[in-house]
Chains A and B, each alone.
Chain A
């Protein structure tokens, strides 16, 4: 009796966590899947099962173009964050006076919540907002930052502003773990700084770079509030990334099944990224 209880004990400890995650994540996920195959009207059960939602989505241009925007947004933003983070980490890894001050200062955007970031940039990018006021002060014409041509790019800029410090700080932590002797030996062998970077720094940081990029890709892809507050997905559909389209279709327009089907179609992509991340973290930690 006692022994049986002992064996059960670990499960008892994880039960609350499992129950919570099951009820607010796993069950909703399955329900989304279930809804995506039918039509649901407010106050009624799901009915008329079939593939109609999927067919509708895949034949309309809207979903595909929105997915394309999400992929573009994520790719450009993550790449920019990676390059900026790596450059700043390499510069701030060298010792010079005021280095810690710079590190602390560049960390600041990361500490500011997304909703604040969105509002800060909403002011900056307005037609009579911060950037255009500054441009005007030096005699330049205002730019329509939140117009159909630039809205997605403006969103990327805001995303990079908040996101790059995470890359920088992670890389700085990684750079610290590379033994100095490696560089000394390379110098003795006559390797120039570029070779040292390519053959020592980059391979040593490989895992960290992969983890940080995968994590940031998942976050950036799933980010709803930045563009929702900044542009609302518009003007038109110009910055309608997938999370906003799912919200609009499934919640604003009450097309539950169709919105659910859109969400379901992104699940394989997200799962692939998550499994990649899990493997990377397992290998490193």
Chain B
């Protein structure tokens, strides 16, 4: 009796949450495949009449709202530039710092590690106003390189911490053997440590890419010009206004979620251990 009861409860809970997870996504698909007029007036429960026009519009037609005249390719391109630039910058910095914090001995190492962890979790809204003013002074307002630099507040600590955890598991004697053979520290890093750590570096890079791709707050502080909007900004800027083009927005929202979804699924193990500072091995 209790066994059957337990099973029934478990099945019910699983079904309940399956529905909970499905509803928002189901509606996004429905809206993105239905003509706008039908979405607003007929309000169907599933896509009728079915149309892929919103997806086609994203890449060919004009992208309405404040971005009138541009296609969705513009924000996609901006996001790509920023994410790639930021990834290259933060991974290079993260490799050096992570290596040093994991495999070298020096005074203040502990404090430095704590400092990086602190930076990693610090919520950017606290420094929002200062960043806005500093961006103006430093001439970084409405520039993509400014955004690349500002997003480092998230990605540099993340990459450093993640790579530190990764390098910590690196066998020290291999590195020492390389130095006995006449390598300098830097050569040992480049020739011995890096090739072996490639999976970890790729994971850190991919993850930095998605963090930058998803960033809203820093882009929001820095960018006012529609031409420079990254994907999150372009999307939310379309919501403001009287006639919201729901089909297009949903299509864009779903399309721009694809890169993070792929990354999270392929790197699930790294995601959890990276986010929890290596405390939980996913």
Contacts and interface: CB of A to CB of B under 8 A. Distances in A.
A147 to B, nearest CB: 18
Contact of A115 (B119, B165, B232, B261): B232
A78 interface: no
Contacts of B152: 20-21, 24
Given A9-B104, A25-B153, A121-B24, A277 B121 contact: yes
Interface in A30-80: 31-32, 35, 40
B10 interface: yes
A175 B272 CA distance: 14
Given A14-B97, A113-B214, A24 B45 contact: no
Contact of B117 (A87, A106, A128, A278): A278
A96 to B, nearest CB: 9
Contacts of A183: none
Contact of B279 (A9, A108, A113, A281): A281
Interface residues of A, number: 94
B221 to A, nearest CB: 8
A19 B115 CA distance: 12
A116 B260 CA distance: 11
B153 A21 contact: yes
Contacts of A202: none
Contact of A28 (B31, B104, B106, B131): B131
A251 B129 contact: yes
Nearest to B108: A11
A225 B232 CA distance: 10
A31 B114 CA distance: 22
A143 interface: no
B236 A229 contact: yes
Interface string B257-277: 100110111001000100111
A201 interface: no
A182 interface: no
A146 interface: no
A281 B250 contact: no
Contacts of A107: 264-265, 268
A11 B278 CA distance: 23
Contacts of B126: 29, 32, 222, 246, 263-264, 266-267, 270
Given A21-B119, A35-B130, A173 B254 contact: no
Given A24-B150, A212-B276, A246 B125 contact: yes
A281 B214 CA distance: 26
Interface stretch (B14-22, B49-57, B60-68, B195-203): B14-22
Contacts of B265: 104, 107, 111
B115 A21 contact: yes
B23 to A, nearest CB: 7
Contacts of A16: 92-93, 96-97
B25 interface: yes
B214 A114 contact: yes
Given A10-B104, A133-B43, A173 B280 contact: yes
B93 to A, nearest CB: 5
B236 A118 contact: yes
A170 B272 CA distance: 7
A54 B18 CA distance: 47
A150 interface: no
A225 B219 CA distance: 11
Given A25-B119, A225-B232, A112 B261 contact: yes
A243 B221 CA distance: 13
Nearest to B124: A222
24 contacts: A17-B96, A20-B93, A20-B156, A21-B116, A29-B127, A111-B265, A115-B235, A118-B236, A123-B27, A123-B246, A128-B40, A131-B23, A137-B45, A211-B279, A221-B123, A224-B124, A224-B125, A243-B123, A250-B132, A266-B126, A270-B122, A278-B114, A281-B117, A285-B279
5 A-B pairs with least C-beta separation:
A222-B123, A111-B264, A13-B100, A17-B97, A250-B129
